């Protein structure tokens, strides 16, 4: 709690400039809800703030459940019959990770999933809980992407049905799930990641992961050629897991701690066709993030609508992954259980993230770097040039650089030009970005027309970005308001009205 208060808690919002917008921040949380959630023990423990920071902590103490540990000393994440979130790139975020959830989201008609035909948003049960694959600790950004890819799944079902009238509900569902999952994996690989790591080298590298060094045109014309270097990982003849059964490591979990991407308010834009304001997108109001999370967020989402939310998030920069930029509203938040029900105990998420890494035996920053054959720091100046940060780091860790927590080091580390994340985190990203594709038969030996269908494989191969998905379902949105190279970088916006004129006063002459 000392670390969370002195080194993580936001003093003043720092953003990422034009590089990364709020859709990009939502995307990675959409992915985390697909991949990672530890099982919990029944034992609850308490953290209490020491006197030196007690009056600065939103919560003087809080209780939470320990991570469930198995006899081997490892932590049970997604194995056995009690899966919460599957680690595979299988879009369980919209389909679910168990039979009960998968049954809940399906219409059992033409392979489709449930969604509001009227609003294009998620449906809800009588308790206000969204009907989707993953509904724990969510917010409107994740809900919107869930709704978008449910629409994508249903559109694939229609396309496959048009191609082959004999396909039954189960066939359509399974083929459409494979296609939609591959589209999501592809967007993450060659669209989202290259905005996070904005360099020409990374752009070439991530595209080579999918297409190989011979490129997309060659692969489209002649198919997969040779090995994974020439033809890309996707479409290789055999899976490859490097001698380790497929999993997501604790290191991977830790470097994806990115809650600093979220701001304190979402800046809502006016997208109404009011005379004289078309395309000017004035800022009409700011909505506190507290009203956009959990069950309250689902209510707010229905009032905003998909297009207004996406246009607003597209124009707003995300927070930067820096020290002292962790949202304070996360330090007093209501968590949910796996069923989406709110729990009685509030938590300080910044302090909890530090505790989780320590509890799960994730190495401290220097040992983490040593394990990847990276040079450890010997003094704080090796980590950052910020004199103020150096002073606080020295105070919190009593001058012991070996005690530096991984999350703090990742936030403090000097960034490579073009990188929104640290170089240390990048090494994990680089390894897992490839291995998640290599180890999955649906991206290697079974990435073919027999498994995906001819129409389905073409759907994947002709989708290059999130913008392509937007164009399919909301073409008026991208035509009218999206002026950036990627849906994940900040959309070009004319000047914002600081003191917007109320709509009822905007009367044409």
- What average pLDDT does the segment 377-386 reach? 97
Q: How far apart are CA 344 and CA 335, in angstroms?
A: 8
Residue found by looking up tokens 């290697």 in the block: 444
Q: How far apart are CA 383 and CA 49, in angstroms?
A: 27
Residue 290: CB partners within 8 Å, gap ≥ 6?
Answer: 296, 329
Partners of 286 in beta bridges: 267
Q: Which of 292, 313, 302, 312 is nearest to 118 (CA)?
A: 302
Q: For residue 215, what pLDDT is reported?
A: 60
Q: Is the pLDDT score of 493 beyond 70?
A: no
Q: Report yes or no: 25 and 319 within 8 Å, Cβ to Cβ.
A: yes
353 token code pair: 């993230």
Q: Which of 123, 505, 445, 466 is nearest to 284 (CA)?
A: 505
Q: Is the pLDDT score of 232 beyond 60?
A: yes
Tell me the pLDDT of the chain averaged across its residues.
88
Residue 420: CB partners within 8 Å, gap ≥ 6?
Answer: 16, 19, 20, 195, 196, 197, 198, 320, 321
Q: Among 225-239, 280-294, 441-455, name the one with the lowest average pLDDT.
A: 225-239
The catalytic site residues sit at: 33
4 token code pair: 């969370």
Q: For residue 273, what pLDDT is reported?
A: 55
- What average pLDDT does the segment 7-25 reach? 96
pLDDT band at 241 (very low <50, low <70, confident <90, very high): confident
Torsion of CA 92, 290, 250, 444, to 10 degrees: 30
pLDDT band at 509 (very low <50, low <70, confident <90, very high): very low
Q: For residue 378, what pLDDT is reported?
A: 98
Q: Is the pLDDT score of 82 beyond 70?
A: no
Q: In this structure, is the dihedral angle defined by the CA atoms of residues 303, 308, 313 and 316, taken in order, positive or negative?
A: negative
pTM above threshold 0.85: yes
Residue 150: what are its φ and ψ, rounded to 5°? -70, -40
Q: Is the pLDDT score of 84 beyond 90?
A: no
Domains of the chain: 2-364+405-481 (1.10.640.10)
- What average pLDDT does the segment 46-66 reach? 96
Residue 382 CB neighbour total at 10 angstroms: 12
389 token code pair: 């940060």
Q: Is the pLDDT score of 209 beyond 50?
A: yes
At 22-48, the pLDDT tens digits run: 999 999 999 999 998 988 889 899 999
| HEC per residue, 146-172 | HHHHHHHHHHHHHHHHHHCCCCCHHHH
Residue 174: CB partners within 8 Å, gap ≥ 6?
Answer: 111
Q: Is the pLDDT score of 496 beyond 80?
A: no
- What average pLDDT does the segment 193-216 reach? 75
- What average pLDDT does the segment 168-191 reach? 97
Which one-letter DSSP state was computed for residue 68? P
Q: Is the pLDDT score of 477 beyond 90?
A: yes
């Amino acid at each position: 709690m000392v670390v969370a208060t002195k080194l993580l808690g936001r003093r003043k919002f720092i953003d990422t400039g034009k590089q990364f917008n709020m859709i990009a921040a939502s995307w990675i949380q959409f992915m985390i809800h697909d991949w990672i959630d530890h099982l919990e023990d029944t034992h609850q423990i308490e953290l209490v703030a020491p006197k030196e920071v007690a009056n600065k902590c939103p919560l003087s103490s809080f209780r939470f459940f320990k991570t469930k540990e198995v006899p081997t000393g490892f932590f049970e994440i997604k194995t056995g019959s009690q899966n919460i979130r599957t680690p595979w790139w299988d879009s369980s975020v919209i389909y679910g990770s168990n039979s009960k959830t998968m049954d809940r989201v399906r219409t059992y008609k033409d392979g489709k999933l449930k969604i509001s035909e009227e609003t294009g948003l998620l449906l809800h049960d009588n308790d206000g809980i969204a009907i989707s694959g993953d509904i724990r600790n969510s917010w409107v950004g994740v809900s919107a992407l869930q709704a978008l890819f449910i629409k994508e799944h249903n559109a694939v079902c229609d396309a496959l049905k048009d191609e082959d009238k004999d396909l039954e509900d189960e066939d359509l569902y399974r083929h459409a799930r494979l296609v939609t999952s591959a589209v999501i994996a592809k967007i993450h690989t060659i669209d989202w990641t290259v905005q996070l790591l904005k360099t020409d080298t990374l752009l070439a590298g991530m595209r080579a992961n999918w297409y190989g060094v011979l490129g997309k045109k060659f692969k489209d014309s002649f198919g997969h050629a040779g090995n994974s270097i020439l033809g890309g990982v996707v479409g290789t003849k055999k899976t490859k897991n490097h001698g380790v059964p497929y999993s997501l490591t604790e290191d991977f979990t830790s470097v994806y701690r990115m809650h600093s991407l979220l701001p304190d308010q979402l800046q809502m834009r006016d997208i109404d066709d009011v005379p004289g304001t078309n395309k000017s997108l004035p800022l009409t109001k700011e909505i506190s993030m507290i009203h956009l999370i959990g069950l309250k967020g689902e209510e707010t989402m229905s009032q905003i609508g998909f297009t207004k939310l996406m246009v607003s998030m597209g124009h707003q920069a995300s927070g930067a992954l820096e020290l002292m930029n962790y949202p304070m509203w996360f330090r007093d938040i209501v968590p949910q259980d796996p069923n989406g029900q709110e729990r009685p105990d509030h938590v300080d998420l910044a302090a909890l993230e530090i505790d989780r890494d320590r509890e799960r035996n994730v190495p401290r920053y220097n040992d983490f770097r040593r394990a990847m054959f990276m040079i450890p720091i010997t003094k704080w100046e090796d980590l950052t040039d910020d004199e103020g940060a150096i002073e606080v780091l020295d105070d919190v860790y009593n001058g012991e650089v070996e005690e530096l927590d991984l999350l703090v080091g990742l936030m403090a580390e000097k960034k490579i030009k073009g990188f929104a994340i640290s170089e240390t985190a990048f090494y994990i990203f680089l390894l897992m970005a490839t291995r998640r594709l290599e180890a999955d038969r649906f991206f290697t030996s079974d990435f073919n027309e027999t498994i995906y269908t001819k129409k389905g494989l073409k759907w994947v191969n002709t989708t290059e970005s999130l913008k392509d998905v937007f164009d399919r379902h909301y073409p008026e949105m991208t035509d009218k308001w999206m002026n950036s190279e990627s849906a994940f970088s900040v959309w070009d916006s004319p000047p914002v009205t600081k003191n917007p004129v109320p709509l009822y006063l905007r009367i044409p002459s």
